[in-house]
Amino acid sequence: MKLFGKELFKARSTELYDFAQHGLLNIRDDGELMGLVVNTQMEELGLQKKKPGRKPKAKPAVSPKALFKAEALNDNDFSINVDPDYVQKNIDEAERKLRLMMNGKKENAQITWGANHFGREELRAIIERLGNRKNISKAKAVLEKYPHTTSLLINEVVEAHSNLRCKLAGEFIPDMPTEAVEAMEEYNEMCKKVSGKTTHFYVVADKKDFGEVARRRDPILLAQSPFGFFWQILGAWDEEMIYLGDL
């Protein structure tokens, strides 16, 4: 049965908001493409000459597993502020901003798109995640088990290594070893305890591995935290990955 309007939003309410879905990660992809298009158009119009000279020397490709072992994504100074006054102050501030964006209007039952819609969704999501911090004691074991990272740090690492991309983990799940599947299940169970919802998983992997199913792949697995717009690193695998063609 097709879902529309309010029914569609109900169907989505079992998952936390995916705060990386609108281009928070992989900022180089769009920038590179736009730069290529603009430069090509300028050259075709005769407004810009092709620059002679040598191509910049490419950095050696690095494997995600090597980055994981080097703790390149770990934010060792990371902490979650659970002070009640801090949490309530930031919830109140986000609610004030949301009221301004709503401008006294009720949310239209029809799906709307655009910057204002996404802005409201993000404010609602951060209000929810800040509220989840009141239940953070239920997540202690998982929070201590996996290191934290940030979108800024992920982008810095991906920018530094042109062979890497960070995208949704869905296409990698069929190849994931038991350890990875158990980590994802454990993380979702924690999220459900503190928020009643499941989270979203992403992978950092070699760009050539996306869209591939005929060989083993090498990802770092990330989970979006239920307590803010940041991440936990669940692990990395290479030879442990399961190539379904071998089963």
What pLDDT does 142 receive? Answer: 97
When mean pLDDT is compared across 90-94, 127-131, 240-244, the lowest value belongs to 240-244
Judged against a pLDDT cut of 80, whether residue 210 lies above it is answered with yes
What pLDDT does 45 receive? Answer: 39
Q: What percent of the chain has pLDDT over 70?
A: 70
| Alpha carbons within 13 A on the beta-carbon side of 239 | 1
What pLDDT does 18 receive? Answer: 95
Overall domain count for the chain: 1
3-state SS of 21-78 is: CCCCCCHHHHHHHHHHHHHHHHHHCCCCCCCCCCCCCCCCCCCHHHHHHCCCCCCCCC
What pLDDT does 52 receive? Answer: 53
- The whole-angstrom separation of Cα 75 and Cα 66 is 17
The answer to whether position 218 is within a domain reads yes
The stretch 71-87 carries a mean pLDDT of 96
Spatial contact of 176 and 242, defined as CB atoms under 8 Å apart: yes
The answer to whether position 132 is within a domain reads no
**DSSP assignment of 81-100, as one string?**
---HHHHHHHHHHHHHHHHH
Query: What residues form DSSP beta bridges with 198?
Result: 15
Judged against a pLDDT cut of 90, whether residue 203 lies above it is answered with yes
The answer to whether position 203 is within a domain reads yes
133 vs 209, more confident: 133
Judged against a pLDDT cut of 70, whether residue 25 lies above it is answered with no
The answer to whether position 211 is within a domain reads yes
The answer to whether position 88 is within a domain reads no
What pLDDT does 243 receive? Answer: 56
Structural domain including 219 reads: 14-40+59-79+137-246
Q: How far is CA 17 from CA 97, 116, 136, 200, in A?
A: 18, 16, 18, 8
The answer to whether position 118 is within a domain reads no
What pLDDT does 19 receive? Answer: 94
Residue 240 DSSP label: T
The answer to whether position 126 is within a domain reads no
Q: What percent of the chain has pLDDT over 90?
A: 55
What is the tens place of the pLDDT at every residue in 219-242? 999 999 999 999 999 999 887 666
What pLDDT does 234 receive? Answer: 97
Q: Is the dihedral of CA 80, 140, 128, 134 positive or negative?
A: negative
Q: Which of 181, 168, 147 is nearest to 72 (CA)?
A: 147
For residue 149, with 0-12 CB atoms within 10 Å meaning exposed, 13-18 middle and 19 or more buried, which class applies? buried
Over the chain, what is the mean pLDDT? 80
What is the tens place of the pLDDT at every residue in 101-126? 887 566 554 445 566 778 899 999 99
The answer to whether position 188 is within a domain reads yes
